[in-house]
Amino acid sequence: MIAYSKLQVRVDLEAITHNYRLLKEIGGRIIPVIKSDAYGHGLCEVARALEPEGADTCAVGYVHEGVQLRDSGYAGRIISLLGPVDAPDFAALGPRGIVPFIGHADTLGALGREVSDPVDIALKFDTGMSRLGFRPEQLPEILDFCARHPHIRPVMVASHLAVADEPQRSGLTTEQCTVFLEVVDQLRGAGYAVEASLANSAAILGHEQCLCDSQRAGIALYGANPFEGTEWRHVGEALLPAMEVSAPVLSVHALDKGQGISYGHTYVAEEDMLVAVVGVGYADCYSRGLSNRGWMNFRGHRVPVVGRVCMQMTCVDVTGLAGKGEAVRVGDVVHLLGGPAPGRILPGELAEWWETIPYEVFCLLGMNPRSY
């Protein structure tokens, strides 16, 4: 939480439950991915909202995120997608009922040394992401290890897709799926009744062949369409964005023709203008990259960022709004994300001006003071 920030992040938990139901209709068993503070929407708040909807399993990143979730009173199964890193992580697995993704022989070895009580694990395979996970050809050594360590119990097998949100590269997703299902078969053939989990948000919405026993949904849960800007955008159109962010107007003043504004005078008024100084800057995680590129939403009207985004301030052009009966005053709020129609700012739009993806927009802006 950024203590000095004047931003207000509003999280609509009903939008998240709406998205969860939608994903369940398509994908059946959905594991909410609530790593990194639920993509900035609040770890415990999101878990608590989805538990009554049937989310009996949630996925966090590090083990200590799972400890925090467990200690908040969440009673379901917790999966750690990144697995144990240090001694406190290993020690927390059994007592807190956290199922770690294990994807390296060294981690498996450490588990054998550090943990003596029974512990459930998820075996993570690399089927094409080339990041974390065992190679499929390591299966014999894994099976050998498990036979020698019966208290380490593989209950799940998983892999992660690299390009599921790119319709024109579906072939690679199909390849990953084929490799994964082969691994699942071999594990089951060796006597392990593992739950198989492959699909992320994009695969739930767009790649039916990737649906297995459970699917892991992150970004779609928060209402960003993984297929925005592609020919498959229609499959995510019913998702509702759950985060809105606003900031206060600190000052409204004239900017005369020929005057430059903000550091570096990177914007110079071509005519007489009116500008509002908004209390948001890069210290609040509103990227300096939005200088002269971003837009804000004042009561449904889109207003462009003029000049450089500063540490705690950003200027927007509000010329002409008074003539439309929408005079901007000190203390009014301006939306950086969401806000009233027709100027409502979608996560994908802000991400595009920012030259990033909605995931990063949510994680960063979500660090500001939140309410529900």
Q: Does 347 bind ligand PLP (CB under 6 A)?
A: no
Per-residue mark of binding to ligand PLP, 127-166 (x: CB under 6 A): ---------------------------------x------
Under DSSP, the state recorded for 37 is H
- The secondary structure element, H or E, covering residue 31 is strand 30-32
Q: Tokens for 361?
A: 């927009």
| Closest distance of CB 364 from ligand PLP, Å | 15
Q: Which of 176, 118, 105 is nearest to 149 (CA)?
A: 118
| Closest distance of CB 27 from ligand PLP, Å | 11
| Closest distance of CB 161 from ligand PLP, Å | 8
Q: Among 201, 225, 246, 297, which residue sits at the site for ligand PLP (rule: CB under 6 A)?
A: 201
Q: Does 216 bind ligand PLP (CB under 6 A)?
A: yes
Q: Among 60, 81, 315, 365, which residue sits at the site for ligand PLP (rule: CB under 6 A)?
A: 81
Pairing type for strands 260-261 and 295-298 reads unpaired
Catalytic annotation, pick one of 35, 39, 192, 222: 35
252: Cβ contacts below 8 Å, ≥ 6 apart = 274, 275, 276, 277, 318, 328, 329, 330
In the β-sheet with 152-159, what is the strand arrangement from edge to edge?
A: 57-62, 77-83, 98-102, 119-125, 152-159, 195-197
Where in 13-42 is the site for ligand PLP (CB under 6 A)? 33, 35
Give the residue carrying structure tokens 């203390």. 331
Q: Which of these ranges, 9-17, 71-79, 211-219, 269-277, lies near ligand PLP under the rule CB under 6 A?
A: 211-219
Where in 217-246 is the site for ligand PLP (CB under 6 A)? 217-220
Residue 192 annotated among the catalytic residues of the structure: no
Q: How far apart are CA 352 and CA 365, in angstroms?
A: 15
| Closest distance of CB 118 from ligand PLP, Å | 24
Where in the sequence numbering do the catalytic residues fall? Answer: 35, 263
